[in-house]
Amino acid sequence: MSAANKSAKKSAKSVKKPPKDTGSGPRPAPETPLPDGRTPDSAQTTGTGKRRRVSEKRERVNAALHVELRGLRAALAQIVEGYEVRVGGRLNDMLRTLEGDDSLDQPPRHLTTAQAQAALDEIARVQLRPDKPRLRDLRRIQRLTRKLRARIPE
């Protein structure tokens, strides 16, 4: 290497570069806050105690996921309520038929022994597990109410 080359390298090394941004300084304010009030680039703590920046897109996608999950939960509640009204209404109609309805001047209706025993056998055959809420239990109740409606004329 020539002496000129060496001196050029030394002068290049002696030029100071600006310090790297370590993220410890103040950050500019974000344009729009998220629905929950946090800012898109707010720092979150990881499991190791270190802090990291969360991207704006990630925050928006997660916020959208929360909104959709809340919507699904509301839809489920509405579906279950509608199902309960429909199937519970059928059961109430059968009870009103058997017990009578004073407001309609309808006397109690007594089934024959064979009809009542057949209905009791149908009910006994259905195995429900209310402690484990399952869709199959709802289907079984719905099928049972259809069968009982056929056995208990209105």
pLDDT digits (tens, 9 = 90+) for 13-37: 555 555 555 555 555 554 555 556 6
How much is the pTM?
Answer: 0.54
pLDDT, one tens digit per residue, over 66-104 is 999 999 999 999 999 999 999 999 999 889 888 887 777
Which helix (H) or strand (E) segment holds residue 43: the answer is strand 43-45
Alpha-carbon distance values, 144 to 5, 90, 135 (Å): 95, 11, 14
Contact criterion met (CB below 8 Å) for 43 and 31: no
- Three-state DSSP at 32 gives coil
- Three-state DSSP at 24 gives coil
Burial (CB count <10 Å: 0-12, 13-18, 19+), residue 90: middle
Distance CA 29, CA 97 (A): 69
